[in-house]
Copies of this chain bind each other. A is one copy, B any other.
Amino acid sequence: MENRLISTEQIEKLIDEKKIAEIRQIFEVVPSIDIADACAEIEDPKKIIFILKTVKSEYTAEFFTELPSEVKEEIISSLSNDQLAEILESQFTDDLVDDLEELPANVVTRVLRNVPKERRATINRLLNYKEDSAGSIMTTEFVVLLSDMSADEAIANIRKTGQNKETIYTLFIMDRQRNLVGTLDLDDLIFAKGDEKLESIMNRDFVTVQVNDDQEMVANIFKRYDLNAIAVLNNDGRLIGVITIDDVIDVIEEETTEDISKMQMVTPLEDSYLETSPLKMAKKCVPWIIVLLVLGTFSSMVLSIFEERITLVPILAAFIPVLMDTGGNAGGQTIALMIRGLALQEFTPKAFWKIIRKEAVSAAIIAVCVGVFALFWFSVEQYTGIVSNSAANGNIWQGNCWTGEYFWEVFKVSGLVAMTLSIGVFASKMVAVLLPMGAAAIKKDPAIVSQPLLTTIVDVTSLLVYFGFAAIVFNI
């Protein structure tokens, strides 16, 4: 329980005073990421280099990985080639590749010059896999055992070769022809008898992914099968890499952030919010606002056509915002549930009709509830004079409002708005089911197409219904 946060001031002071023993002590008891966070705010890269030189590399490897990329860049620029090579040696290849993807080209070149030739080849290969593919997140550091080894031989083998591997908790078993024939969890190996052959204790019901598979699919497989690590095969079915659970958690976060962004019509940011410049942020937001603005033309068109009706019954205008907001909101609820269900792969094609039936029933219930409440509430608005109905002429403060005629004039407006709202809510929810499912069916991203189309369809439908019935109700 000696874990405590360390502040930037504390660590900077220790560096300034060259308290080597105390700095080493901190690395013993404080998690590396907490120290990296504290050091991220130190201006002078030389101070961080002092840490890298002072502390054992088994601690600094992780520490270095966790530093923000601009700090890494500064450090790499100020290090000698030997110092750089030493730091690079201790990093896992997949972490290193992640770093390189964020660093400027000249820094990347310098890093690549300072790793051994063989490793350089591996890094270059990993850098070339398509972004967001299984290849781009896999590591090439994994343990392979032969199926005819005994458990004791396997453990001896791991002790000899497993030291720098990303994981030894999942072991990959090949036959003599170098085909992947099974996986083995380290705990099963630990509990096995020493002379048992691996082929009799390994799992044969393992799953694998292809190197070009999308990382979101990989994440879904991890979740479904509760994996620690998965084998990545190339197009010839050969084992070329392994993806581990820690990288998958990052993928899950990343994909969810992307989905949420798209759902709210922001093009996903490449970096974290804090690392994105205001100009870049604007670029991610503006196109969508303009799309919506252009799509808004349809509602302006409808309103322009019905201009005369508004002039004749001006109170109609007062409820336009509430019709737009409520309809859009009701559909937004359904879109959220749909997109999440699709992302978590809860929805199979088989469930399609079931979902539509279910949503139709719940949309109908919601439409009726909201309609009834709206009828009451919009009447209250008129009776209290919050919204003035010139035809009814009067409200509870001015008296003159308990006549049948008054009631009828109020009811005409409340009834029209409530009915439009009811229809709008129902239509909006049905459109909100169909859009994401339709998008998924034609392999388009459901998160991206749904929201702007929904808004447009709902606005136009509501306005048409509203002014269509207004003509009947008010004889205009």
A308 partner residues in chain B, CB cutoff 8 A? 314
Contact A335 B264 (CB under 8 A): yes
A-B contacts, 30 listed (Cβ < 8 Å):
A2-B205, A28-B204, A30-B205, A155-B190, A162-B187, A163-B191, A223-B253, A260-B263, A264-B333, A266-B336, A269-B337, A272-B346, A279-B365, A282-B362, A286-B366, A288-B333, A293-B326, A293-B370, A293-B373, A294-B377, A297-B322, A297-B386, A299-B321, A300-B318, A303-B318, A304-B315, A304-B388, A307-B317, A308-B314, A321-B324
**Size range of the interface on A?**
35 or more
Q: How far is the CB of A371 from chain B (nearest CB, A)?
A: 11
In A370-420, which residues have CB < 8 Å from any B CB?
370, 373-374, 377, 381, 386-388, 390
- Nearest 8 pairs of A and B residues by beta carbon: A296-B322, A264-B336, A278-B362, A278-B361, A299-B321, A281-B362, A282-B365, A303-B318
Whether, in the assembled complex, A45 has its beta carbon less than 8 Å from a beta carbon of chain B, the answer is no
> 1/0 contact trace for A309-349 toward B, CB 8 Å?
01100110111111011101110110111011100101100
Q: Known contacts being A288-B329, A318-B303, A320-B320, is A263 close to B311, with CB within 8 Å?
A: no
Q: A residues engaging B (CB < 8 A)?
A: 1-3, 27-33, 155, 158-159, 162-163, 168-169, 180, 186-187, 190-191, 204-208, 222-226, 228, 233, 237, 245-246, 249-250, 252-253, 256-257, 259-261, 263-266, 269, 272-274, 277-279, 281-282, 285-286, 288-290, 292-294, 296-297, 299-301, 303-304, 307-308, 310-311, 314-315, 317-322, 324-326, 328-330, 332-333, 335-337, 339-341, 344, 346-347, 351, 354-355, 358-359, 361-362, 365-366, 369-370, 373-374, 377, 381, 386-388, 390, 421, 425, 455, 459, 463
